[in-house]
A and B are shown apart, each in its own frame.
Chain A
């Protein structure tokens, strides 16, 4: 029963401080993997998938990108008008060029977004995502970050979250509900 409660809480309509703002109310500015400036208003009218990650991440991020690529393939041309974006939580290392190299390994509908530390912080705040730098030996570091995939309706309303490794049988219908 606990699981059902948690599921419902995470899929509530907007209004909670813990859920992403409607895209139209967001204020971030980021740069895509082709070096172009992107703002929330550029996504108006399009169903949207957003997740946070970074290219130095060996396990969670490529796995999520592989999952999303499979979902998009299953949706086929229906997903062509979607915005699908990876927002880097490691802008220090993830330049647009690095992101271009990285996203080229996955479905071509996936874009990479990065920016200054402040710009990324603003985006995370708008999406209610969190991330944290974890220092390791010899100046190396990794990032803890929100692992879920955010879905939005074409009018910018938050729709739902696909949890990390959620079964494709549930993920694809969730996305489909944002397409109509």
Chain B
């Protein structure tokens, strides 16, 4: 299979660094260039990666490299529509970050753009390529649990806003400034916007769609950020499965501007744990464990050190195959639209204080 000529844009997204290794090592790819959104991320990139041309604008990169076939949009959410237009109109395939946009009109424009220009647009929901999730799906399919009754998932992390400041700006994260609820000084755009994975995973694992949701925000554990950082969501799927989903930024961090050792205050920086209760028993999983543990430099704190993080390997393999074999990505714009709609309904539930029926 011919190598896919790929580039990255902006480099401001928290997942940017995850691509460095896979873009360099995956034999299916040829990494052509990057464009950076500002001098700071340009410096961070050049400090980490050698030998890849780096441009100050997306257009300059695309003009200089007409051979580019696909782009990873490693950018803040508010940039996605502009960059999608730029790529789709040139016939360039797109790997979008996990939130294309929260504006449903914009979202529909994205669908139209990609379909009209016949480009692949795959959404980066990397848990689909996690080995524990793969095993969970296999166990569920085996029928060992019987009919699923309830589904619990956590997708909790530290807050990325110090290292990736756009995530702390409602207009850049949520797309506009919308108060979280009447009389509250916070705005949409925080932890919920960072963690769509479990809202997608429950659809996949239960084979059903959301029927109703109820959500509540707790007081921020970081009172100085203007978006929500602690929330919980419960509800019911159309097939009767009840759920509890926690997408909080509940794992406290040091306020590093560049992620690195010592980021953790809470011992584990990210937890994705699933508990599925069925008629015949209970299935529990930790998608990122067991691990190794240390209390070494720089802060002498007991810290969980992850032992595997290879979701991007499978994700990129599928992306290349989708382009070369003309396949529709499993997580495509149309499928993901419902997840985004549900996340907006969760914000609506927080605002109204009541259950929202979908």
Tell me whether A and B are bound partners.
no
Question: Residues of B with Cβ closer than 8 Å to A?
Answer: none
Tell me the A residues contacting B by CB distance below 8 Å: none
